[in-house]
A and B are shown apart, each in its own frame.
Chain A
Amino acid sequence: MKNLQTIVLSNQEISPGYFRMRILAPGYKDIAKPGQFVMFRVRRSLPPLLRRPFGIFQIGLLPADCEGMPEKEFIELIYKVVGAGTEVMCELHEGDRIELLGPLGRGFDIDDEGGDKILVGGGIGLVPLYMLADSLADRSKTRLLIGGRSREDIITVTEFERLGVTSHVTTEDGSLGEEGLITRILERKLDKYPKAKVYSCGPMPMLRAVEVICSERNVPLQVSLEALMACGVGACLGCVVKGREHSEQNPEYLCTCRQGPVFHSYELDWERVEKNIEQEESS
């Protein structure tokens, strides 16, 4: 956990509105866990003021510049351009200076058992699932279910497949894979593999639907949540979600940045999470 002043190695548009940025990140390889994130800042004194949180897609090594030098560690982010911060990010080029705070937060709890694993991603929510898939013991029993609005929103699936993971795609407009919502496939897969463990990241309405399906079937579920964050280190209390035991008298607010972003579904108060969904849906 530290603030790293570093540089961009590459930054490319991989699908309309989606970018993949490779960043020099010494020290990440040994400590970063699947599901952790970074707080990203484009240079001092430039807007936006606050850093932006992004999941780590993958970590890798590049050959050293010359013999005798160490290999170069990098991380990759995949981000969707949605506002002021990501608009600045997508203008960055190789060699541009940036700052990274991380790796932050609690990642996925991974057990070493082989067993069936189902990863459910919605759009950009697939980002933290790649390192997770990579670290699972028996990838031939791992299935990636990925849903999006349209074919442009389905990214990097072939990379998952190269890990040995089987993938299933749905789009709402039917432009790629099956037409419809990914949760339908989840139900089908759980009928077939009732002992599977489920890991999910994506928009709140999708997560809620996944939670309902899993809790009905007593299937263990871990979710990676998004929240607005100012600090990323547990100080501002801007990013909280209500925990299962929450009440006005005995508040149990969990910081998404520190106690999350990955939670076991039983740690959360889904009724209240749902209230936030209603707000999101009406918007």
Chain B
Amino acid sequence: MSSNIATDNKPNLAVEFAGLKLKTPLMPASGTFGYGQEFAPYLDLNQLGAIVTKGLSLNPKAGNPTPRIAETVSGMLNAIGLQNVGVDAFISEKMPFLEQFDSPVIVNFFGNTQEEYGEVAARLNDVPGVAALEMNISCPNVKHGGIVFGTDPKAAFDVITTVRKRLTKPLIVKLTPNVTDIRITARAAEDAGADAISLINTITGMSVDVRTRKPRIANVIGGLSGPGIRPIAVRMTHQVVQTVKIPVIGIGGIMRAEDALEFLIVGAKAVQVGTANFVDPNAMQTILADLENFCIEQGIEDINDLIGSLQL
């Protein structure tokens, strides 16, 4: 009967917010997990709190020229350019695969214009297997791809309002860190009717090959991700948690369970793992197991007791 005892001792890792019930507070970050399928050989998608898919636009998008990625100290720059199959192909070709799993599917999306944002949201709103939408107002890679919306509180408020009107499913707004005061955009998102906030997206950066004197990625400027950005992400998550009442999802440089715990302790209800999936396709499974071990070791029966337990 030892297995029974083991299950009795298992800490509760389930979290609930914005109408979503997650088995665990762990999910992949958009753009680092493809459409889920790519990782199915390596980890059990049913163990994830949710499956978050690559950002979608109304029409398929080609993305940027190569080179698109470059490794930096403790991180990487990317300028993929939001390459994606487009919302219709996603619904017909990718959703059937994702529907096999009982983990909720969160679909990330973006638009070039306010109308396009609204249109993509409306189409996804009617798709049965989609649990929630994550709205990218922050991608720094594409010239028209959101930088205007995410860095200007008024533009952010307007575009979120437009999307809100066309959406009954839960709306998560993903913020850009490339602003002077993240609390201002967080408040704009809350005021416009977001059900939750996720942050951070990548931080704009640049790297030069000194021998060729060329930028190391073709787009010149890229988005920085990976362990090097974590302190910035934790700081911003902390600031936003202190500012808004809606739930917050923490993202940025999570490689190990301890990293995820930092975000939870400052008050994130859940976390997303990005670049770590590239380094190790099993990363989330390892983090999950270690999260559980941490709780057991610390005598924590419910992960919710940890959330927001920061000692100031």
Contacts and interface: CB of A to CB of B under 8 A. Distances in A.
Contacts of A250: 60
A228 interface: yes
Interface stretch (A133-141, A172-180, A229-237): A229-237
B63 A2 contact: no
A219 B306 CA distance: 65
Interface string A38-52: 000100100111110
Contacts of A237: 63, 68, 80, 83
Interface string B197-228: 00000000000010110100000000000110
* Size bracket, chain B contacts: 35 or more
Contacts of A238: 66-69, 78, 80
A63 interface: no
A129 B80 CA distance: 31
B211 A283 contact: yes
A107 to B, nearest CB: 17
A47 B71 CA distance: 10
A251 B281 contact: no
Interface in B57-90: 60-63, 66-71, 73-76, 78, 80, 83
Interface in A226-263: 227-231, 233-241, 246, 248, 250-251, 253, 258
A50 B71 contact: yes
A37 to B, nearest CB: 15
Given A233-B281, A251-B61, A49 B71 contact: yes
A253 B227 CA distance: 29
B89 to A, nearest CB: 11
Given A228-B69, A283-B209, A234 B76 contact: no
A248 B62 CA distance: 6
A230 B227 contact: no
A253 B69 contact: no
Interface in A268-283: 276, 279, 282-283
A239 B32 CA distance: 13
Contacts of A84: 71
Q: Chain A at the B interface: mostly helix, strand, loop or mixed?
A: loop
A236 B63 contact: no
Interface string A49-90: 111000000000000000000000000000000001000000
Interface stretch (B33-41, B185-193, B297-305): B33-41
Interface in A207-235: 227-231, 233-235
A15 interface: no
Interface stretch (B93-101, B158-166, B242-250, B272-280): B272-280
A156 interface: no
B178 to A, nearest CB: 21
A261 B140 CA distance: 29
Most buried by A among B80, B211, B279: B279
A1 interface: yes
A240 B226 contact: no
B114 interface: no
B67 A228 contact: yes
A26 B28 CA distance: 30
6 contacts: A50-B71, A51-B279, A230-B76, A230-B278, A251-B83, A283-B212
Interface of A: 1-3, 41, 44, 47-51, 84, 99, 101, 227-231, 233-241, 246, 248, 250-251, 253, 258, 276, 279, 282-283
Given A230-B278, A238-B69, 16 more contacts: A3-B281, A41-B280, A49-B76, A49-B227, A50-B76, A228-B70, A231-B277, A234-B38, A235-B34, A236-B31, A236-B32, A237-B68, A238-B66, A238-B68, A251-B61, A276-B66
